[in-house]
Structure 1
Amino acid sequence: MYRFLLTPRWLGLFVLALAAATVMVLLGNWQLDRYHGRTAVNERIDAGLRMDPVPLREALPAPSGGPGTVGAPPTQERTFTRVTVTGRYDTDNVILVRGRTVDSRVGFEVVTPLVLADGTAVLVDRGWIPPAPGGALAQPDVPPAPAGDVTVEGRVHASESGDAKVSRRDGRVESRRVSVPQLAGELPYPVHGGYVLLDEQTPAADPVFRAVSIGHANNWQNLGYVVQWWIFAAMTLVGYGWIARREARRLAGVVDERPRDRAADSDTPAAT
């Protein structure tokens, strides 16, 4: 009854269906890996919020080169670790990161190097502020950083990638990304390979700053894609089986009987 499945046409259809289902399963597995990866990132973000701060050196290695060089980046396990560090802000090299959005408003994140006792520095993202009147790119009025020793508490963040062109405007460094390697080239000391998102500092930060939050990755979307691809794979194989069964019944001369419409029969006039 199903001998026709061994014909070249049906063998080709089977190989095509099997290949399509295999690709869909692999796409589902890829999305499953992304789900696990994003879940791990979210867990590290949450753990960083709950943990007690540790010294910066436990999460971020010190740079060992000369001025303008960058230390090793934080490991995945140490990214988002809550740290504490004491130093002095370098107010001559304030960095404005433009095009940053908070509550649908475009403004700047203010990043300032914190110079440590050993002469190295770590970049500290002090928070978000709105632009000056005149447009989203108008340089803001940045509150001065505290003078003298400052103790910072915050979370370690890896250097950002993407378009990181660095320029100077009105004495301030500007960029669209917190790309530590590019920014370090503008600074007169070695710089740690990650930066710190400020949570608290002593003396206290100016209230005009809005703390920069770390958004959670949408891992549930990836899980939805996993289910979607695997369902598509199953439907492909089931669809092939359904088509094959229908062809087998056609070749066998089997006609599906449909239920009669009694209402239609009752409307048919009786023969006289």
Structure 2
Amino acid sequence: MYRFLLTPRWLGFLALTIAAAVVMVLLGNWQLHRYHQRAEVNARIDAAGRTAPAPLDRVLPAPAGTAGTAGAEPPAGTEWDRVTATGRYDAARLVLVRSRTVDSQVGFEVVTPLRLADGSAVLVDRGWIPPAPGGATAIPQVPVTPSGDVTVVARVRRSESGPGAVLPRDGRLETRRISAPRIAAELPYPVRGGYLLLDQQTPPADPAFAAVPVEHQNDWQNAGYVVQWWLFAGMALFGYGWAARREARGGPDTGAERDADRVPAATGS
């Protein structure tokens, strides 16, 4: 009854169905891997919020290079950890990071080097401010940078990838991405790897700054894709089986065949 499945046509259908199902299963497995990655990041964010901040040197050691260089990037497993550091802001070399969105508004994040006692610095993202009137790229009025010693509690971030040259603008530096190596090249001292996203500051930060939110990653979206791709794989195999059964039964019934099925078989007299 199913010997037709051994014909070249149906063997081709089978190979195509299996190949499609395998690809869909692999895509589901990849999405499952992404789900676990994002869930791990979210767990780190939550755990860091419940623990006391560690000294900066424990997570971001002092750079071994000379002026204009950045230290090693923090390990991925330490991103979002909370650390504390004390130093003095270098107000003359603050960096404006453009095209940053907070609460659906485009503005700037202000990154300022915090000079440490060992002569190095760590980049601190102090928060978000809106642009000046005239458009999203209009240079904002930056709040006064605190003088004297400052103690920060902040979260460790890795340098951002992607294009983003650091250029001088109106006596400041401006960029699109926060990259420790690129910014360090414009500074007269070595810089720790990565940067810090400010949580708290002593003395308190200027209220003109809006805190840059610590956003959890959407791991459930990846979980939905896992179910979607695996369901598609099952549907492909089911579709092949349904088509084979339909073929074995002779294709779709005609109206005459359905009527014939309803007529009782004749009996002998």
Corresponding residue of 1:265: none
CA–CA distance in structure 1, aligned partners of residues 159 and 48 of structure 2: 17
- Give the counterpart letter for 1:232 in structure 2: F
> What number of residue pairs does the alignment pair up?
260
CA–CA distance in structure 1, aligned partners of residues 118 and 34 of structure 2: 40
Corresponding residue of 1:232: 232
SS at match of 2:235: helix
The alignment status of 1:24 with 2:21, answered yes or no, reads: no
Gaps of 5+ in 2: 263-269
SS at match of 2:186: coil
SS at match of 1:192: coil
- Give the counterpart letter for 1:15 in structure 2: A
Q: Share of identical aligned residues, percent?
A: 65
Corresponding residue of 1:202: 202
SS at match of 2:41: helix
Corresponding residue of 2:163: 163
SS at match of 1:230: helix
Q: CA distance change for structure 1 residues 171 and 244 in 2, over 3 Å: closer, same or farther?
A: same
CA–CA distance in structure 2, aligned partners of residues 187 and 99 of structure 1: 23
Corresponding residue of 2:131: 131
CA–CA distance in structure 1, aligned partners of residues 21 and 56 of structure 2: 49
SS at match of 2:142: coil
CA–CA distance in structure 1, aligned partners of residues 158 and 260 of structure 2: 68
Q: CA distance change for structure 1 residues 3 and 86 in 2, over 3 Å: closer, same or farther?
A: same
The alignment status of 1:175 with 2:175, answered yes or no, reads: yes
The alignment status of 1:13 with 2:13, answered yes or no, reads: yes
Q: Deviations over 1:59-90 (max 9, x none)?
A: 11221100011111111211100000000100
Q: CA distance change for structure 1 residues 158 and 258 in 2, over 3 Å: closer, same or farther?
A: farther
Q: CA distance change for structure 1 residues 211 and 249 in 2, over 3 Å: closer, same or farther?
A: same
CA–CA distance in structure 2, aligned partners of residues 181 and 151 of structure 1: 24
CA–CA distance in structure 1, aligned partners of residues 159 and 2 of structure 2: 61
- Following superposition, the deviation at residue 174 of structure 1 comes to 0.2
- Give the counterpart letter for 1:141 in structure 2: Q
TM-score, structure 1 normalization: 0.91
Q: CA distance change for structure 1 residues 138 and 244 in 2, over 3 Å: closer, same or farther?
A: same
TM-score, structure 2 normalization: 0.92
Q: CA distance change for structure 1 residues 239 and 259 in 2, over 3 Å: closer, same or farther?
A: farther
Corresponding residue of 1:185: 185
Gaps of 5+ in 1: 262-272
CA–CA distance in structure 2, aligned partners of residues 145 and 77 of structure 1: 32
Q: CA distance change for structure 1 residues 142 and 257 in 2, over 3 Å: closer, same or farther?
A: same
SS at match of 1:188: coil
Q: Deviations over 1:239-266 (max 9, x none)?
A: 1011111111118x999747999xxxxx
Q: Deviations over 1:80-114 (max 9, x none)?
A: 00000000100110100011111221111000000
The alignment status of 1:149 with 2:133, answered yes or no, reads: no
CA–CA distance in structure 1, aligned partners of residues 47 and 31 of structure 2: 24
Corresponding residue of 2:44: 44
CA–CA distance in structure 2, aligned partners of residues 198 and 64 of structure 1: 25
